[in-house]
Amino acid sequence: MNDPFSTNPVNPFESANTGASAPQAEPKVDAEAQGEPEADTSATRNAAKRLVDGVAEALKKGKSDAAEAARQAAPKVKEGMNKGAYGAAYGLSFGASFGLTLLREVLPGALRAGFASGCEAGKAAAKRAMSPQPKPTTAEQEAAAGPVIDADGTPAPGF
């Protein structure tokens, strides 16, 4: 099967049918590219400088615009946050008050008294935990620890 468009796998410029080489194209050189390298480098530098300056100016303008937008949006954001905080506090306090009031009215007296006693005990424990405690003396620490017992089950000497 001779396909006139197939290429030789060894040399893609050679036709598979004829073995003849395809004509090689001469590289084209732009007339401006043949000029002095310094002029080309200078033009490239100028183009790069204009690009960097443009990007820097765009970043400065973006920063300025973002700061102005934030200044304008801050009061609205603050108002929204205040409304959200108020709504959350209202919901929590309403739920707690409603639930406790309903429980107080529905539960039998013994359960209500138990809840009241438990609340008072919890408050007292919290106050004790938050108040500064005097540091115990060494004798108090030893008394609280109890006697030291030897391996045979007898109190150690001195206790």
Answer whether residue 23 shows pLDDT above 60: no
Query: What pLDDT is stored for residue 126 in this prediction?
Result: 93
> Tokens representing 150?
């030897």
**Alpha-carbon span 156 to 147, nearest angstrom:** 8
pTM: 0.32
| Distance separating alpha carbons of residues 148 and 156, to the nearest angstrom | 6
Residue 79 has pLDDT above 60, yes or no: yes
User: Which token pair is 152?
Assistant: 């045979």
* Average confidence (pLDDT) over 137-148: 70
Average pLDDT of the chain to the nearest whole number: 77
pLDDT band at 25 (very low <50, low <70, confident <90, very high): low
Range with top average pLDDT, 6-10, 30-34, 120-124: 120-124
Residue 28 has pLDDT above 70, yes or no: no
Which residues, other chains included, contact 16 with Cβ-Cβ below 8 Å and sequence gap of 6+? 2, 3, 6, 7, 8
Mean pLDDT of 81-106: 90
Average confidence (pLDDT) over 89-115 = 86
Lowest-pLDDT choice from 1-10, 53-62, 100-109: 1-10
Going by pLDDT thresholds of 50, 70 and 90, the confidence category of residue 59 is very high
